[in-house]
Amino acid sequence: MAKASLEAIRNAAPAVLPSLLLCDFGDLKGEVSRLRDAGAEVLHLDVMDGHFVPNMTYAMPIVEGLRRHTDMPLDVHLMISDPAKYARPMVEAGADMLTFHVEAVRDVAETAAQIRELGVNVGVALNPETSLASIRPCLADIDMVLVMSVEAGFGGQKFNPVALEKLQTLRSEFPDLLLEIDGGIDPTTIGPARAAGCDLFVVGSAIFKTDSYADAMKVLSDQIAAHDPSAEHGS
């Protein structure tokens, strides 16, 4: 299962991942259908516990509800204090990728291994002020790095360009590693992120606060294509 979903995510990249935090939770089935029609191939879910981050969102029931309505990969971002404790319930609910924060754990490699044992794809996230050195112990054994361009859990923050530097470094050193960015991604920031080597772009307001998901997705996808690093080299 993990291998198939990882392949689906890789095949979708470069891709816009709608972050369902702003969707209509009273009509999950309808939202999934509209996003699919707009071109979405992977969905992003932000799980917050009110402890590791100051906000609270949703947990396993929403993941399970989404799983009933779509076969799209579910990329679950655990902004919680004890990711290993909730990893199995999340996998059982239908998560395809579990991403935990390096700042939330004592041993990043051990946590990654524990999640891997559940038969799911593994990602590691780091906040803007956290150095890449903190995730190096597990980089050979994970599927994805999520580079935060804002501090996790806080709304209304300005895009931090340090994320682009991290993406460039990771892409140079680990050409096959999936790279994701989250925080302040819109038509003005998605291009530079793609140029820096990013594969997956988590987008909230720039989709859900528009009149047309399809139009928003097209604008974002066009910016990705316009800044594709391989296209710049004629390949």
DSSP 182-226: ESS-STTTHHHHHHTT--EEEESHHHHTSS-HHHHHHHHHHHHHH
Q: Which one of the listed residues 46, 96, 143, 199 is annotated catalytic?
A: 46
Residue 140: CB atoms within 10 A of its CB come to 10
Which residues make up each annotated binding site? 19, 44, 46, 77, 153-156, 182-184, 204-205
Residue 122 and residue 98 in contact, taking contact as beta carbons nearer than 8 Å: yes
Residue 225 and residue 231 in contact, taking contact as beta carbons nearer than 8 Å: yes
Active site residue 107: no
| Spatial separation of the C-alpha atoms in residues 197 and 165, rounded to whole Å | 10
Per-residue pLDDT tens listing for the chain (235 residues): 688 999 999 999 999 999 998 899 899 999 999 999 999 999 999 998 878 887 778 888 899 999 999 999 999 999 999 999 999 999 999 999 999 999 999 999 999 999 999 999 999 999 999 999 999 999 988 999 999 999 987 666 789 999 999 999 999 999 999 999 999 999 999 999 999 999 999 999 999 999 999 999 999 999 999 999 876 544 4
Q: What is the pLDDT of residue 233?
A: 46
Q: Domain residues of the chain, as ranges?
A: 2-230
CATH topology for the 2-230 domain: TIM Barrel (3.20.20)
Q: Which one of the listed residues 143, 182, 186, 199 is annotated catalytic?
A: 182
Q: Which amino acid is at 5?
A: S
- In which residue are the tokens 């859990």 written? 153
Q: What is the pLDDT of residue 1?
A: 62
140 Cβ contact list (under 8 Å, min separation 6) = none
Q: Side by side, which strands form the sheet with 144-148? A: 15-18, 200-203, 178-182, 144-148, 121-126, 97-101, 74-79, 43-48
Active site residue 182: yes
Which residues make up each annotated binding site for a divalent metal cation? 44, 46, 77, 182
Question: Which is nearest to 42 in space by CA: 7, 87, 8?
Answer: 8
Statement: the pTM of the whole predicted model exceeds 0.75: yes
Cα 48 vs. chain centroid, distance in angstroms? Answer: 14
| Spatial separation of the C-alpha atoms in residues 220 and 225, rounded to whole Å | 9
Q: At what angle do helices 108-116 and 83-93 cross, to 10 degrees?
A: 20
Which residues make up each annotated binding site for substrate? 19, 77, 153-156, 182-184, 204-205
Burial class (CB in 10 A: 0-12, 13-18, 19+), 18: buried
Q: What is the pLDDT of residue 155?
A: 62
